[in-house]
Amino acid sequence: MKRLSIKMRVTLWYTLLMLLLSALVLGFMVFISEHIAQSDAQEALVQGVDANMEEVEYEDGELDIEGDFIYLKNGVSTLVYSQDHQLMGGYLPAGFASDEPFVDGTVRGVQSDGGQFYVYDRLVTFKKHDGVWLRGIVQADGSTGIMGTVLKAAFVLLPFIVLLASLVGYQIARNSFRPVERITRAANAISEGSDLSRRIGLGEGKDELYGLAAAFDHMFSRLEASFEEEKRFTADVSHELRTPTAVILSQCEYALAHASTQEEYRAALEAVNRQAFRMSRLISRLLAFTRLEQGVEKAEFEETDVSELMTMICEEQKSIAGKGIALWQEIEPGLHAAVDRTLITRLLDNLIANAYQYGKEKGNVWVGLRRDNDMLRITVKDDGIGIPAEHLDKIWNRFYQADPARIADEKGSAGLGLAITKQIAKLHGGDATVESTPGEGSLFIITFPIKKRGA
């Protein structure tokens, strides 16, 4: 049974059920019709014999069977016997035993060579003469009349009805399971041809299979998206590493082939050093980002005085501010939350470093912390170059740089800082947003709940 397809199994069960039901209905019909036929036959027997009793009498010393005496009616044969059981008139039905004993006034069934019969005997007595026996006999062969015809027709038609029902059942099962075939085909096509853009595409529907197909399509979309993401990531990383590698190689080749003075070697080494620094920074950022994204780096939330932590970070950052930029603190004291100290430090370092990098000479950076209901709100604001509107929603993407030409190489910028910042905010159950006006400055806002997620 397990080797059969579900379609065949459903059809088989359905056909079996149909057979069982038909057999039950037929059985019931046979039972009822036999019952009716029996009582009809018995009633006709009793009536026939009783009516004939009126037609037998003695006249002038002779037994007179009147003209209204009916020997055969409705299958009932009436026979006349003398009191000592000698047949005097009527015809014994074929196959009925002639030596059947006489019993007055009861209908009884008799099994004879010719089948099953009902027999009803009546003794007619006279005052001055011997009595006579009237014996009624009727075949008890079950269903007769309309019921019998219906039953015979039903027996003939039953196999056809069951056959038709199983064909229709198979068709219904086939139609119902058609979506499964489409799902299988699509899944096979995807796994064989690696065509992740394929969908089952059953469309709108209410039944479970449509739901299943939609769930599969959703899963395929997710798979395609993450596959694309992976491809883009690999391409981005290779692209980012290609430039410094190419510079290092060309510098080395140039120095080996052409450099002769110490200064020339030094210049080449410095260029190599710069690019190596850039690569090393890129790799460590990439590692940090991937670990965060893949959840390898687990955040360790601990109850922290965020105000104190941020003040400390600001003091450190003040010492490395370039371009004569001033850092202002607007930190509400005594705000506690469950945070990962290392990650929050990294987040703030990223934002302040960006504010310095994209800030103007002798500009300002304002770092703020305040409580907003159940949330903490960290802000880093600058009066630097700002971000054009069309870049605003993209700057959070990894490797995205609004204007790579503006970026000084020494920083080792790779467009990963904000992607990491967003990840950290999300790890804390919050989010990161930005508001900016080109030429006026930018405001980065991080909000996250005071209680850590799930706590």
Residues at the site binding ligand ADP, with contacts judged by CB under 6 A: 350, 354-355, 358, 382, 384-387, 395, 400-403, 407, 413-419, 442
Q: Which long-range contacts (CB under 8 A, 24 or more apart) does 330-334 make?
A: 330/366, 330/367, 330/368, 330/369, 330/370, 330/379, 331/307, 331/367, 331/368, 331/369, 332/307, 332/369, 332/370, 332/371, 333/307, 334/305, 334/307
- CB nearer ligand ADP, residue 332 or residue 383: 383
Position 410, amino acid: E
- CB nearer ligand ADP, residue 81 or residue 358: 358
Asked whether 278 and 411 are in contact (CB, 8 A), the reply is: no
- CB nearer ligand ADP, residue 151 or residue 380: 380
Q: Where are the alpha helices (DSSP H) in 194-261?
A: 208-258
- CB nearer ligand ADP, residue 335 or residue 416: 416
Looking up tokens 């299958």, which residue turns up?
A: 75
Residue nearest to ligand ADP (CB): 417
DSSP 390: G
- CB nearer ligand ADP, residue 142 or residue 417: 417
Closest contact distance (angstroms) between CB of 307 and ligand ADP is 23
Position 105, amino acid: G
Closest contact distance (angstroms) between CB of 428 and ligand ADP is 18
Closest contact distance (angstroms) between CB of 204 and ligand ADP is 42
Closest contact distance (angstroms) between CB of 356 and ligand ADP is 9
Classify 74 in phi/psi space as left (phi over 0), alpha (psi -120 to 50) or beta. left
Closest contact distance (angstroms) between CB of 279 and ligand ADP is 14
389 SS3 class:
helix
Which among 369, 310, 374, 307 has a CA at the least distance from the CA of 336? 307
Closest contact distance (angstroms) between CB of 296 and ligand ADP is 21
- CB nearer ligand ADP, residue 34 or residue 382: 382
Position 295, amino acid: G
Instruction: Output helix, strand, coil percentages for the chain, rounded to the nearest 5.
Output: 50, 20, 30
Closest contact distance (angstroms) between CB of 434 and ligand ADP is 8
Closest contact distance (angstroms) between CB of 301 and ligand ADP is 24
Closest contact distance (angstroms) between CB of 330 and ligand ADP is 17
- CB nearer ligand ADP, residue 292 or residue 385: 385
- CB nearer ligand ADP, residue 127 or residue 362: 362
- CB nearer ligand ADP, residue 124 or residue 407: 407
Strand stretches in 252-353, DSSP E: 302-305, 326-331, 336-339
375 SS3 class:
strand
Closest contact distance (angstroms) between CB of 310 and ligand ADP is 17
Query: Which residues lie closer than 8 Å to 317 by C-beta, 6 or more apart?
Result: 327, 348, 349, 352, 353, 356
Count CB atoms within 10 A of the CB of residue 230: 10
Closest contact distance (angstroms) between CB of 309 and ligand ADP is 21
- CB nearer ligand ADP, residue 351 or residue 450: 351
- CB nearer ligand ADP, residue 117 or residue 399: 399
Angle at 88 between CA 82 and CA 94, to 5 degrees: 115
Q: Which long-range contacts (CB under 8 A, 24 or more apart) does 106-109 make?
A: 107/42, 107/45, 107/46, 109/140
Backbone angles phi, psi at 44, to 5 degrees: -60, -35
- CA atoms within 13 Å, Cβ hemisphere of 137: 24
Backbone angles phi, psi at 352, to 5 degrees: -70, -40
